[in-house]
Amino acid sequence: MTTIRLFRPDDAVAVAELITRCLREVNSRDYPAELIDRMCAHFNPLRMLELSQQRQIFVAQQATPTPSAPAAPSSGDGLLGAGAGLVGTVSRDGNKVFTMFVHPRAHGQGVGRQLMTHIENLAAADGFDHMETGASITGHGFYQRIGYTDVRVSDTDFGINYILRKPLR
Protein backbone atom coordinates (compact mmCIF):
# COMPACT_ATOMS: atom_id res chain seq x y z
CA MET A 1 0.00 0.00 0.00
CA THR A 2 1.24 3.47 -0.87
CA THR A 3 0.37 6.44 1.31
CA ILE A 4 0.86 10.12 0.57
CA ARG A 5 2.04 12.39 3.36
CA LEU A 6 3.63 15.79 3.81
CA PHE A 7 7.39 16.03 3.54
CA ARG A 8 9.23 16.21 6.86
CA PRO A 9 12.70 17.73 7.30
CA ASP A 10 14.16 14.28 7.99
CA ASP A 11 13.03 13.25 4.47
CA ALA A 12 15.40 15.70 2.78
CA VAL A 13 18.25 13.26 2.15
CA ALA A 14 15.97 10.47 0.93
CA VAL A 15 14.02 12.79 -1.38
CA ALA A 16 17.23 14.22 -2.85
CA GLU A 17 18.52 10.67 -3.40
CA LEU A 18 15.23 9.63 -5.00
CA ILE A 19 15.36 12.59 -7.39
CA THR A 20 19.01 11.93 -8.21
CA ARG A 21 18.28 8.29 -8.96
CA CYS A 22 15.38 9.24 -11.25
CA LEU A 23 17.46 11.82 -13.07
CA ARG A 24 20.40 9.45 -13.60
CA GLU A 25 18.38 6.34 -14.51
CA VAL A 26 15.38 7.78 -16.35
CA ASN A 27 15.81 11.41 -17.41
CA SER A 28 19.33 10.71 -18.64
CA ARG A 29 17.74 9.07 -21.70
CA ASP A 30 16.52 12.50 -22.80
CA TYR A 31 19.19 14.89 -21.51
CA PRO A 32 23.00 15.17 -21.76
CA ALA A 33 25.12 14.07 -18.79
CA GLU A 34 26.26 17.63 -17.98
CA LEU A 35 22.64 18.77 -17.61
CA ILE A 36 21.76 15.75 -15.46
CA ASP A 37 24.76 16.57 -13.24
CA ARG A 38 23.52 20.16 -12.84
CA MET A 39 20.00 18.99 -11.99
CA CYS A 40 21.33 16.49 -9.44
CA ALA A 41 23.44 19.19 -7.80
CA HIS A 42 20.41 21.50 -7.70
CA PHE A 43 18.12 19.01 -5.92
CA ASN A 44 20.36 18.42 -2.91
CA PRO A 45 19.05 17.90 0.65
CA LEU A 46 19.55 21.55 1.62
CA ARG A 47 17.62 22.68 -1.45
CA MET A 48 14.78 20.30 -0.54
CA LEU A 49 14.60 21.87 2.92
CA GLU A 50 14.52 25.34 1.34
CA LEU A 51 11.78 24.31 -1.08
CA SER A 52 9.72 22.88 1.78
CA GLN A 53 9.53 26.42 3.20
CA GLN A 54 8.25 27.79 -0.13
CA ARG A 55 5.68 25.18 -1.16
CA GLN A 56 4.01 21.99 -0.03
CA ILE A 57 6.08 18.89 -0.72
CA PHE A 58 4.49 15.46 -0.52
CA VAL A 59 6.05 12.03 -0.52
CA ALA A 60 4.64 8.64 -1.48
CA GLN A 61 5.70 5.96 0.95
CA GLN A 62 5.15 2.23 0.54
CA ALA A 63 4.31 0.10 3.55
CA THR A 64 5.14 -3.57 3.93
CA PRO A 65 4.48 -5.25 0.58
CA THR A 66 1.59 -7.60 -0.01
CA PRO A 67 2.03 -10.74 -2.15
CA SER A 68 0.71 -8.86 -5.20
CA ALA A 69 2.79 -5.72 -4.62
CA PRO A 70 6.55 -5.43 -5.01
CA ALA A 71 8.69 -4.46 -2.09
CA ALA A 72 9.44 -0.81 -1.60
CA PRO A 73 12.92 0.25 -2.58
CA SER A 74 15.27 -0.68 0.25
CA SER A 75 18.46 0.80 1.60
CA GLY A 76 20.23 -0.96 -1.26
CA ASP A 77 18.40 1.46 -3.54
CA GLY A 78 19.93 4.48 -1.85
CA LEU A 79 16.96 5.24 0.40
CA LEU A 80 18.05 5.22 4.02
CA GLY A 81 16.80 6.41 7.37
CA ALA A 82 13.53 8.26 7.80
CA GLY A 83 12.85 8.25 4.09
CA ALA A 84 13.10 4.47 3.67
CA GLY A 85 10.30 3.24 1.46
CA LEU A 86 9.82 6.55 -0.34
CA VAL A 87 8.74 5.83 -3.89
CA GLY A 88 7.74 9.28 -5.11
CA THR A 89 7.55 12.99 -4.46
CA VAL A 90 5.68 15.99 -5.80
CA SER A 91 5.34 19.57 -4.67
CA ARG A 92 2.68 22.18 -5.09
CA ASP A 93 2.27 25.92 -4.76
CA GLY A 94 -1.39 26.74 -5.23
CA ASN A 95 -2.30 25.22 -8.58
CA LYS A 96 1.28 24.83 -9.78
CA VAL A 97 2.96 21.40 -9.81
CA PHE A 98 6.70 21.07 -9.19
CA THR A 99 9.35 18.40 -8.74
CA MET A 100 7.36 15.24 -9.54
CA PHE A 101 9.50 12.10 -9.45
CA VAL A 102 8.71 8.40 -9.00
CA HIS A 103 11.34 5.82 -8.10
CA PRO A 104 12.36 3.93 -11.27
CA ARG A 105 11.34 0.59 -9.72
CA ALA A 106 7.87 2.00 -8.95
CA HIS A 107 7.12 3.25 -12.49
CA GLY A 108 3.85 1.92 -13.87
CA GLN A 109 2.38 1.14 -10.44
CA GLY A 110 0.12 4.20 -10.16
CA VAL A 111 2.33 6.14 -7.75
CA GLY A 112 2.58 9.18 -10.04
CA ARG A 113 -1.18 9.22 -10.61
CA GLN A 114 -1.79 8.93 -6.88
CA LEU A 115 0.55 11.85 -6.14
CA MET A 116 -1.06 13.99 -8.83
CA THR A 117 -4.61 13.16 -7.75
CA HIS A 118 -3.67 14.13 -4.20
CA ILE A 119 -2.43 17.60 -5.10
CA GLU A 120 -5.17 18.16 -7.69
CA ASN A 121 -7.78 17.47 -5.00
CA LEU A 122 -6.07 19.90 -2.63
CA ALA A 123 -5.97 22.60 -5.32
CA ALA A 124 -9.65 22.05 -6.16
CA ALA A 125 -10.54 22.31 -2.45
CA ASP A 126 -8.62 25.60 -2.37
CA GLY A 127 -10.83 26.93 -5.20
CA PHE A 128 -8.53 26.53 -8.20
CA ASP A 129 -10.16 25.55 -11.50
CA HIS A 130 -7.03 24.14 -13.17
CA MET A 131 -3.54 22.79 -12.50
CA GLU A 132 -0.42 23.83 -14.36
CA THR A 133 3.00 22.22 -14.59
CA GLY A 134 6.26 22.45 -16.42
CA ALA A 135 7.20 18.99 -17.65
CA SER A 136 10.52 17.67 -18.81
CA ILE A 137 10.86 15.80 -22.08
CA THR A 138 10.85 12.65 -19.95
CA GLY A 139 7.64 13.44 -18.04
CA HIS A 140 5.68 15.04 -20.88
CA GLY A 141 3.86 11.87 -21.95
CA PHE A 142 2.87 11.02 -18.37
CA TYR A 143 1.10 14.35 -17.92
CA GLN A 144 -0.69 13.98 -21.25
CA ARG A 145 -1.93 10.51 -20.22
CA ILE A 146 -3.49 11.92 -17.05
CA GLY A 147 -5.37 14.70 -18.81
CA TYR A 148 -2.94 17.59 -19.10
CA THR A 149 -2.76 19.46 -22.41
CA ASP A 150 0.09 21.47 -23.89
CA VAL A 151 -0.03 25.24 -23.52
CA ARG A 152 3.45 26.16 -24.74
CA VAL A 153 7.08 25.07 -24.79
CA SER A 154 9.77 27.02 -22.99
CA ASP A 155 13.53 26.78 -22.71
CA THR A 156 14.88 26.78 -19.15
CA ASP A 157 18.23 26.38 -17.43
CA PHE A 158 17.43 22.67 -17.33
CA GLY A 159 16.44 22.30 -20.98
CA ILE A 160 13.12 22.11 -22.77
CA ASN A 161 10.06 22.44 -20.57
CA TYR A 162 6.50 21.73 -21.69
CA ILE A 163 3.92 23.89 -19.94
CA LEU A 164 0.71 21.90 -19.52
CA ARG A 165 -2.69 22.50 -17.92
CA LYS A 166 -5.53 20.36 -16.68
CA PRO A 167 -9.01 21.58 -15.74
CA LEU A 168 -10.12 20.57 -12.26
CA ARG A 169 -13.87 21.01 -12.75
Taking only the tens place, the pLDDT of each residue in 46-78 is 999 999 999 999 999 997 553 344 444 443 444
> For all residues of the chain together, what is the average pLDDT?
90
- Domain holding 84, by residue range, is 2-167
Would the pLDDT of 9 be above 70? yes
- Report the candidate in 57, 24, 60 with the shortest Cα–Cα distance to residue 39: 24
Locate all alpha helices (DSSP H) within 92-132, ordered by sequence.
111-125
Whole-angstrom distance, CA of residue 126 vs CA of residue 137: 29
Query: Taking the model in full, what pTM does it have?
Result: 0.86
Percent of the chain with pLDDT over 90: 81
Q: What is the CATH number of the domain that holds 54?
A: 3.40.630.30
Domain count for the chain: 1
Taking only the tens place, the pLDDT of each residue in 78-107 is 433 344 599 999 999 999 999 999 999 999
